[in-house]
Amino acid sequence: MNFTVSNKEYLKKVLGHILAKYREKSIVNISFEEVKKTKTKKQLGFIFGGIIKALISYFNSLGYDYDTNIIKYWLYYSCGVYDEKQAPDGSIIYMPVTLSQMDIKQASDFINRVIYFIDTTPILKGDKDNRGFCLTPDLRYCWTRHVSGFEINEALEEKKPQYDESYLRYQRRKNCIYCGGLGNEVHHIKRGSGLGRKNPDWFTIPLCERCHKLLHDEIGEAEFLRGLSGVLNGLDIKEFCALCYKRFKLHLE
């Protein structure tokens, strides 16, 4: 029987675990699940193009006339992968690798770094005169379309604190996950929390005041979460929040 494997490191872990259990004469339960199809290079290209267009529109609103190439290479030089090339005089030149030249993992990691760069670069932060640059939820959370079952389980099983004020501060700085507008509030997911008990700080989503009010006073949490299906891309809300927190701890977002 032949098997096709897409994650060699994960396979090594699984086989190592099975071998250890076999030596202990323990029972091993094996189950199979359908793996979500990873994003193609073409899809990642569309996401990168969407981010570039959004940045151009933002800078235009501030009176700056930047074209596609300037924004594209700004992101490549700030977040990209570099190739070492030897110049005629023997010196080494570091050339940014374009998205079309990257493999699928490099391209996916590059998009993640671009999103983190947008969140942290001072030039895109707002002030009293402008709200700053806002990524729409479908672009900000594009990574939800290509997470593996291994990543999900790892994020869920990882030990997380009940309280993390640094994460709540980070969440309040993000744009609203529902409408993409300027956010400054955090909603603790109520599901499974029980009477008088609040879920941990990692089990939260960033919202603006208007959408937070919509959730509590008009449609309720269950209906509100159904409205996030385009952002969650099949993930359960607990899986999504666990992955967001893991990315925060790894400084990927």
| Tens digit of each residue's pLDDT (9 = 90 or more) over 220-235 | 999 999 999 888 988 9
Question: Has residue 73 got a pLDDT over 60?
Answer: yes
Q: Is pTM beyond 0.85 here?
A: no
Name the pLDDT band for 175 (thresholds 50, 70, 90). confident
* Nearest in space to 170 (alpha carbons), one of 205, 135, 118, 130: 205
Its sign, for the CA torsion 81, 107, 139, 187, is negative
pLDDT per residue as tens digits for the range 81-124: 888 888 899 899 888 888 888 888 888 888 888 888 887 788 88
Question: Has residue 25 got a pLDDT over 80?
Answer: no
Strand 204-207 to 92-96 pairing: unpaired
* Nearest in space to 95 (alpha carbons), one of 115, 73, 111: 73
Residue 91 dihedral angles phi and psi, to the nearest 5°: -75, 160
* Distance in angstroms (rounded) separating the CA atoms of residues 247 and 167: 11
pLDDT per residue as tens digits for the range 36-52: 444 577 778 888 999 99
Q: Considering the chain, what is the average pLDDT of its residues?
A: 82
pLDDT at 204: 95
Would you say 127 and 72 are in contact if contact means Cβ atoms under 8 Å apart? no
Per DSSP, what are the bridge partners of residue 187?
205
The residues spanned by each domain of the chain are 39-127, 134-253
pLDDT at 100: 87
Radius of gyration of the chain (CA): 21
